Amino acid sequence: MRIFFLAQRVPFPPDRGDKITTANEVRHLARSHEVHVFCLADGPEDAAQAEPLRRIVASVTAVPVAAWPARLRATGALLAGRSLTVAMLDEAPLRRAVAAAAEAMPPDLIFVYSSNVAQHALGLDGLPRIMQFADLDSRKFADLGNRARWPMRLIYALEGRRLLAWERRIAHAFSHSLLCTEAEVADFRALIPGVPVSCVGNGVDLDYFVPGIAEPEEDLLVFTGVMDYSANVDAMVWFCAEVLPRLRTRRPAVRLAIVGSRPNAAVRALGSLAGVTVTGRVPDVRPWIGRAAVFVAPLRLARGIQNKVLEAMASGVPVVASTAAWSGTGLASGDGIVPAGDAETFAARVTELLEDPARRAQLGARGRAAMERDFTWAAQLARLDAVIAQVAAR
């Protein structure tokens, strides 16, 4: 089967949330199908990854997103009643490339990851099209609007409403939609009823993330992620302001490592706090995860499955997570992960684990077992294969 795979970033390497999913999907599909990748490039570093990807797939077309034109498009969209995030990725060269390729070598299936790039496949009516929302971005912006101050509160709320209208349009135009958790599927059915939808979750590389990479260090907490992403920034700013002081009254030796690329000014400022390390980009996150006594995931804006949580659990490290980050896993409390709904509870759960090495080890082992049971990529990609076969048959 000839598949056109559209993505918002070059789907390689698997080093951040969306790329972890798309890289695994592309590699899997390329084993059995003729895959042509069409994507946007999020800066020079992202664009450079198109070259190694070409060794895996039939072709790669990567179009750079120019920063200033994208911002101008977003400004125009705000006034015109369009979604800002969709307008920012409205790169005409990508749309023309997809259309030209479809005319020269018609695909059997078009697969789109992220509703923000679905616009580049809208003109290809009559072809089977799968839309992988992963999660509903409209709900993220609604959540941001509930927390932000004026005027961003208004802008986020507007974007949430406009994105929902866009998601509805895309879902009705495409053959099938995918979400990454059953909770997201339930939200989707409530907001966009009457269209085919399935759950294809995230997996974790159980051969790469393994227990014992490093020796755990007493009182070390670790968080990983791309550190200019708003949900990660919000999590760490909140944790350092609300949870860390409470922890210090109980465990004065507590340290926090914030590990990840592109820390913005707010995150860099956290590095001036006592016991807080902001690493920036590291060549390999596994030694940092392995050193953690406890991995913390205090995300207040989380939707879907957090790859960082899966990676920590696959590494045998106990996780304390916000209710939002925990619920995406679908796991029971204590199955490698402990939920915490507010700052005081979060501090109490972390303290309990820091004071009980035996429970930390037990929780870490249960987390690894849960990953082996429920989160292998083979199981998730088998679901994807089933949806593709179903859509192609129709």
Domain 220-374 has CATH 3.40.50.2000: yes
Residues 6+ apart with CB under 8 A from 90: 73, 119
For residue 300, what pLDDT is reported? 93
Give 116's DSSP letter.
G
Closest C-alpha to 39, from 53, 55, 28: 53
Q: How far apart are CA 8 and CA 65, in angstroms?
A: 10
Spatial separation of the C-alpha atoms in residues 161 and 56, rounded to whole Å: 38
Query: What does the pLDDT look like over 17-59, one tens digit per residue?
Result: 899 999 999 999 999 999 999 999 988 889 999 999 999 999 9
What is residue 260's predicted lDDT score, i.e. its pLDDT?
97
The single-letter code of the amino acid at 10 is V
User: What pLDDT, on a 0 to 100 scale, did the predictor assign at position 147?
Assistant: 81
What is the residue-averaged pLDDT of the chain? 95
Give the Cα separation of 294 and 342 in Å (integer): 17
Q: What is the pLDDT of residues 135-186, one digit of tens each?
A: 889 988 888 888 878 888 989 999 999 999 999 999 999 999 999 999 899 9
Residue 340's DSSP bridge partners are 322
Tokens of 98: 């997809």
Q: What element of type H or E holds 321?
A: strand 319-322
Burial call 340-352: b when 16+ CB within 10 Å, e when fewer: beebebbbbbbbe
| Other beta carbons within 10 Å of 155 | 16
Res. 293 pLDDT band, cuts 50 70 90: very high
Residue-wise DSSP of 213-265: SS---TTEEEEES-TTSHHHHHHHHHIIIIIHHHHHHH-TT-EEEEE-S---H
What is the separation of C-alpha 282 from the centre of its chain, rounded to a whole number of angstroms? 19
Within 8 A by CB and 6+ apart from 74, the residues are: 84, 85, 87, 88
Q: Any residues with CB less than 8 A from the CB of 171 and at least 6 apart, and which? A: 131, 177, 188, 192, 195, 197
Class of domain 2-203+376-393: alpha beta
Largest CA distance in the chain: 67
When pLDDT is cut at 50, 70 and 90, the band that residue 302 belongs to is confident
Predicted pLDDT at 270 = 98
Q: What is the pLDDT of residue 59?
A: 98
Task: Enter the pTM of the model.
Answer: 0.92
Six-digit token string for 6:
């559209």
Spatial distance between the Cα atoms of 143 and 147, rounded to a whole number of angstroms: 7
Mean predicted confidence (pLDDT) in 244-258 = 97
CATH 3.40.50.2000 residue ranges for the chain:
2-203+376-393, 220-374
Task: Provide the residue type at 22 as one letter.
Answer: T
**Residue 143 identity (one-letter amino acid):** D
